[in-house]
Amino acid sequence: MESTLKRIPLGQIKVNEVALRPAKIKDKAFQDLLLSVEAQGVIKPILVNDNGDGSYTLIDGLQRFTAAKMVREKNANAPVEIDAKVVKVNSEKELGLQIILNNNTIKTRPVEFADGIMRVLAHNPQLNQADLATQLGMSQPTLSNMLKLSKLAAPIQELVNDGSIRVTNAYLLARLDQDVQEQFLEAAQTDSPEVFTTKIKEFEKAERAKKANLPAPDGPSPVLRKRPEIQASYETLKATTSNQSNPSREDLIKLETLAWCLKLDPSSVQEWKDAKEKSEKEKAEKTLKAQQDREADAKKKSDEARAKLAAINS
């Protein structure tokens, strides 16, 4: 994107009305920035959009811009201008840039990011989630999950923002009504996403059964184990039984079952060998045919050339 570097009066710059987050003037990081601006000025240029009427809208650099204005208010000798990269884009692109830059620089807290996206969508009724996801370089499901965070109860949002609850678990928690979310508060903070996913799915299944006047499911829902877990069990059991002179029938059956799951049982291994042999045979036949075709083509061209030479010499 083309931009020009200009030194612009602070008064000609306005903050975007749907800014993703306010200037955090009480945060220690902002206070450190304020001291830096007082001592050295704003070193990194902000990014603004040229409105075409002598004014500019801030796209990126709200913390730096706010610090520069506060320093100017305290000190009449402070600069009244700020270095800025100037671009000229439409309002839709401007909002997309704002979200991308906020998300790719100082880490925007998850719920703040979700709230920012909600404001952008509210400000642009014609902008749908699919288009916005494309602008942000993320999938629509990811964007939809982010928006779900706004459905969390406010105290839970704080736990997500400070990292006490993983974002993946927060997405799952947001699927529940706020009066239910509290039941899973501790689990959301301590469980791995895999474990927490199972708990939420079991709860949702029980709730569906309750609404349909069906008996609640007895026991946990089946969950397919992942290949590394199956393979680890197989390798451990294989090593154990191979060191035993007379392994138990139960262990042998379990070993056969795990081997079948991994397609390492005799039948699956033979299928693999047959498929490999067939593939190699087809490849060899294809290579041989290609060679024969090349030789036939070479002979044909040679015969044509010989015929032409004979005609010339006759």
CATH value at residue 48 = 3.90.1530.10
Same domain, 86 and 54: yes
Q: How many domains does the chain have?
A: 3
Same domain, 235 and 298: no
Q: How many CB atoms lie within 10 A of CB 255?
A: 20
Read off the pLDDT of residues 121-149 as tens digits, 9 standing for 90 and up. 777 778 788 887 776 656 788 888 888 88
Least confident of 174-183, 222-231, 278-287, 291-300: 222-231
Task: Give the pair of three-digit tokens for residue 207.
Answer: 């709730």
Q: What is the DSSP letter of 244?
A: -
Q: How confident is the model at residue 106 (pLDDT cuts 50, 70, 90)?
A: very low
On whether the CB atoms of residues 190 and 199 are closer than 8 A, the answer is no
Final residue of a structural domain among 44, 79, 107: 107
Same domain, 253 and 236: yes
Same domain, 254 and 278: no
Residue 74 in domain: yes
Residue 244 in domain: yes
pLDDT (average), residues 237-241: 93
Same domain, 280 and 234: no
Query: Residue 152, SS3?
Result: coil
Rounded distance between C-alpha atoms, residue 155 and residue 248, angstroms: 54
Residue 29 in domain: yes
Same domain, 35 and 67: yes
Final residue of a structural domain among 87, 107, 127: 107
Residue 287 in domain: yes
Same domain, 238 and 299: no
Residue 309 in domain: yes
Same domain, 10 and 79: yes
Same domain, 230 and 311: no
Final residue of a structural domain among 107, 132, 158: 107
Same domain, 50 and 72: yes
pLDDT of residue 81: 93
Q: How many CB atoms lie within 10 A of CB 212?
A: 7
On whether the CB atoms of residues 188 and 170 are closer than 8 A, the answer is yes
Read off the pLDDT of residues 247-263 as tens digits, 9 standing for 90 and up. 999 999 999 999 999 99
pLDDT (average), residues 9-38: 81
pLDDT of residue 107: 54
Same domain, 32 and 85: yes
pLDDT of residue 128: 83
Task: Give the pair of three-digit tokens for residue 99.
Answer: 């979200």
Rounded distance between C-alpha atoms, residue 248 and residue 114, angstroms: 56
Residue 62 in domain: yes
Q: Determine the structural domain holding residue 252 and report its residue range.
A: 224-264
Same domain, 9 and 33: yes
Q: How confident is the model at residue 220 (pLDDT cuts 50, 70, 90)?
A: low
Rounded distance between C-alpha atoms, residue 292 and residue 270, angstroms: 32
Residue 289 in domain: yes
Rounded distance between C-alpha atoms, residue 187 and residue 199, angstroms: 9
Residue 308 in domain: yes
